[in-house]
Amino acid sequence: MHVGKICVLISMLVFISCKQDNVVHDFDGAWNFKETYENWKKGDVEGLSANESIIAGKKHLVINHSMIIDTSANPMYLSVPGGKWIINDIRPFGKTAYNVLLRSTESKETTGILILNCKNDKSIWFSIGKMDPDFQKEFNQSFLLVGEEEIYVKCDQIKQ
């Protein structure tokens, strides 16, 4: 094979590889437990309701007590029952995870990292990264369930 063609082929492979590594996930919207969401879809849940709400400029369905991520807000934020934090940054962490750098709404110095893990079906789960003691205390006040068994799915985005 001609050397030039080989170079072009290598360049294409590198480009494709980088594209895969740099996939930007859209986390903006309302997230709820997969189990809750599926039950709500089936209409099985008494008392649970859903509202339409604009998040990051798009209309989303928000089931009660959903986790909200809005990276278009100023400041960006993540809220869950029992807690709300400002998102300082979301940085790729390996190929399937992101470090979500959070800080307290009360203090700029109180920070913590939540690791957002992506699954192939676009659902996510969280693990705990490094946290300041004060942030850890604040985090423990929240009702966010963390761990591989706690799968969150994004509620529907409504086409406008």
Partner 1 sequence: MPSGPCLFRSLIAAAEEKTGKNLSIGQIAAIGKELHASGDIGTNDEYYEVQKPEVVLKAALKELGYPDAQVKVGNTGESTGKADFTIRFIKSNHHYQLGDASGKIKYEPYKYNNSAHSVTGDATSLRDVTIILTPEE
Q: What mask of x and - would describe binding to partner 1 in positions 64 to 83, judged by CB under 8 A?
A: xxx-x----------x-xxx
Q: What phi and psi, each to the nearest 5 degrees, are found at residue 124?
A: -135, 160
**Rounded Cα–Cα distance for residues 61 and 101 (Å):** 26
Q: Rule CB under 8 A: say whether 148 interacts with partner 1.
A: no
Q: Which two tokens stand for residue 2?
A: 């001609």
Alpha carbon 56 to its chain centroid, in Å, reads: 13
Q: Is the CB of 96 or the CB of 156 nearer to partner 1?
A: 156
DSSP 158: P
Min dist. Cβ of residue 93 to partner 1 (A): 23
Min dist. Cβ of residue 155 to partner 1 (A): 11
Residue with tokens 């400029």: 57
**Rounded Cα–Cα distance for residues 147 and 53 (Å):** 28
Q: Rule CB under 8 A: say whether 62 interacts with partner 1.
A: yes
Min dist. Cβ of residue 61 to partner 1 (A): 10
Chain residues binding partner 1 by CB under 8 A are 30, 32-33, 35-36, 39, 45-49, 51, 53, 62-66, 68, 79, 81-84, 140-145
